[in-house]
Chain A
Amino acid sequence: MDSILTAKGLTKKYSKFTLGGLDFEIPRGFATALIGANGAGKTTLIDTLCGVIRATSGEVTYFGEDTDIEEAAIREKIGYCASSSFFPQGWTAKDIAMSMELAFDSFNREKFRTLCEQLDVDSDITKKPKPMYKQSDGNRMRLSLAAVFARETDLLILDEPGSSLDPLMRDRLCDRLREYLDDGNGEKSIVFSTHNIADMENAADYAIFMDKGRIIESGFVEDLKDKYIIARGEAADYDKAKHLLMSHSKNRTVFDGLALAENAEELARLGVDSEAPTLQQLSIGLLKYAEETR
């Protein structure tokens, strides 16, 4: 795989939580979704990748050659967007613009202004702009996104960018992500985390599923959709089919569960139907499987 980022044995240890050791790659030219429940370690992983926190051990290679995230040249190429309030509480859009200008050569103030207008939030020339603490989570995310998209980057790493946005704004975000990939012509890549992939199903090309600090599955979405099926049957057939199911959900009428596509024929012989999963169904199945086998 042509990867933009490679992690080997990446580990972050806290007293009550350990991330890793993780080995994974992020494909170049695609959007990668980090999918997992709250507490799976998505933010810890993103913050480690972006140099916000230091890994306990392991190594990450960026753009095929560099391993030191402290290097300004690497940071210049990465657009990082935190899920919670990243900028100081007292800051306004004007302060954000000034700090971004100082921190990043490619930050374009006019582009920032246009993006703020498009995203319907304060810009650097708004009269009496609101400080961050007076803004909603959604507005703070919009400002962070505007700040990131106003730069020339090769890799976007966005932590839960869709979660605080309303449906319309999330749709626009997905458009903008596809636009970024298109403009990059196969060279620009995106990583974003989400605990609700249904909202961004059509913006994800590659998926990494996480549970309790571990990676439980990863791959290109279309390949994963070929690898797994959702099995559906009547409750009476459950007992003979359950050994083929990876996740189990049953009531007195029906059952369903995730299964390997290679078992579809055998399931059919047992009277169990199968369907190709959506990314959302796949996520639920895999996360449930991880929970059941933890």
Chain B
Amino acid sequence: MKILQNSDIPIYKQIAGQFKEDIMNGRLAEGDYLPSIRGLARDLKISVITTMKAYEQLTEEGLIAPVQGKGYIVNPQDREMVKEQHLRLLEQHLQNAIESAKLAGIDREELVNMINLLYDIE
């Protein structure tokens, strides 16, 4: 976990985003506990309320849930939902790629070739 204090992205969004990533790629598994709100605030040198807001956002999105007296636990993740979220992200990135390609005067064929090339390198 790392946060930037002077970023354009609010700190609570940075925190929520990183936990979301950890949950999506399995680094945080179902049943795992997130660090305590005040403990994380202490480590990240930020206010408690900012950390709390990040956890509230993740709760609203159904990724985690509060457990009385024990903190926040990672919810069982719906595989379809996770895939759906990845798909949305992918679409968004491709959209950006297409936009950049158009700006640079790169046609469809060239773009597809680039993707093929990059896919092979991976």
Residues of A within 8 A of B (CB): 29-31, 174-175, 178-179, 181-182, 184-186, 202-206, 220-222, 225, 276
Contacts and interface: CB of A to CB of B under 8 A. Distances in A.
A222 B15 CA distance: 14
A127 B18 CA distance: 51
B102 interface: no
B47 interface: yes
Given A222-B12, A276-B10, A178 B49 contact: no
Nearest to B46: A202
A133 to B, nearest CB: 35
| Nearest 5 A/B pairs, CB to CB | A205-B49, A182-B38, A178-B42, A182-B42, A222-B53
Contacts of A203: 47
Contacts of A182: 36, 38-39, 41-42
Contacts, number: 50
Majority SS at the chain A contact face:
helix
Nearest to A185: B38
Majority SS at the chain B contact face:
helix
Contacts of A184: 38
Q: Which range holds the interface residue count of chain B?
A: 10 to 19
B48 to A, nearest CB: 5
Interface string B6-39: 0000101000000000000000000000001011
B111 to A, nearest CB: 34
A178 B38 contact: yes
A174 to B, nearest CB: 7
Nearest to B40: A182
B79 interface: no
A181 B53 contact: no
B59 interface: no
B10 to A, nearest CB: 7
